[in-house]
Chains A and B, each alone.
Chain A
Amino acid sequence: GESVGLHLPTLSVQEGDNSIINCAYSNSASDYFIWYKQESGKGPQFIIDIRSNMDKRQGQRVTVLLNKTVKHLSLQIAATQPGDSAVYFCAEVSGGSYIPTFGRGTSLIVHP
């Protein structure tokens, strides 16, 4: 599972590889999911979102997969670049109110 504070799970990849970052969410009633990227010293940056009526959504170099059966979300980054190095968070939202719950994050390190 994910660690607390500075001891985030870390994924190290080589430049050009594909990266897969995983997230387990907690609420089976969640119907909207978001991935964010946070670089050191900056606020989170929206990457991609997906609604619960979808299993897959693609963006530019990124794909989000949603498995509602096991409450699992993944973010795939194609041809990972050094600029992709950051902490990646998933967030889940349930119901009509926007009250997001965030995962602890995964640190992605891309080696040139």
Chain B
Amino acid sequence: KAGVTQTPRYLIKTRGQQVTLSCSPISGHRSVSWYQQTPGQGLQFLFEYFSETQRNKGNFPGRFSGRQFSNSRSEMNVSTLELGDSALYLCASSFSSPYEQYFGPGTRLTVT
């Protein structure tokens, strides 16, 4: 069975721009979570979606948003990019509860 896929894998943006990242979960998985990973802050939880609804949310500013479609695919958007948003953004999926998740390879975002 195919794993979690994320597109694009690498992205370079300029401060002030916005970006949309995409995640396709494992077939049959309905829970999708997003994480940010940086050398300074480590791995941090952004939000979790289930059945097109945001079910849990971490402590990130409103510039970070997401959505989930009826086929469980998810996107996250970051508006007004800042240099500090440079990070590896990881998506993870699970069947129903957000436990025992399967992670994708991540999208490496660089903000210049």
Contacts and interface: CB of A to CB of B under 8 A. Distances in A.
Interface of A: 4-6, 32, 34, 41-46, 49, 89, 91, 97-105
Interface of B: 4, 33, 39-40, 42-45, 48, 55-58, 90, 92, 97-106
Nearest to B103: A43
Nearest to B97: A98
9 contacts: A4-B39, A5-B40, A43-B92, A44-B90, A44-B92, A45-B103, A98-B97, A98-B98, A98-B99
A99 B45 contact: yes
A66 to B, nearest CB: 16
A102 B58 contact: no
A77 to B, nearest CB: 19
Contacts of A6: 39
A107 to B, nearest CB: 13
A105 B99 contact: no
A14 to B, nearest CB: 28
Contacts of A98: 33, 48, 55-56, 97-99
Contacts of A100: 45
- In the A-B complex, the 5 residue pairs with the closest CB atoms: A43-B103, A5-B39, A102-B43, A98-B98, A98-B56
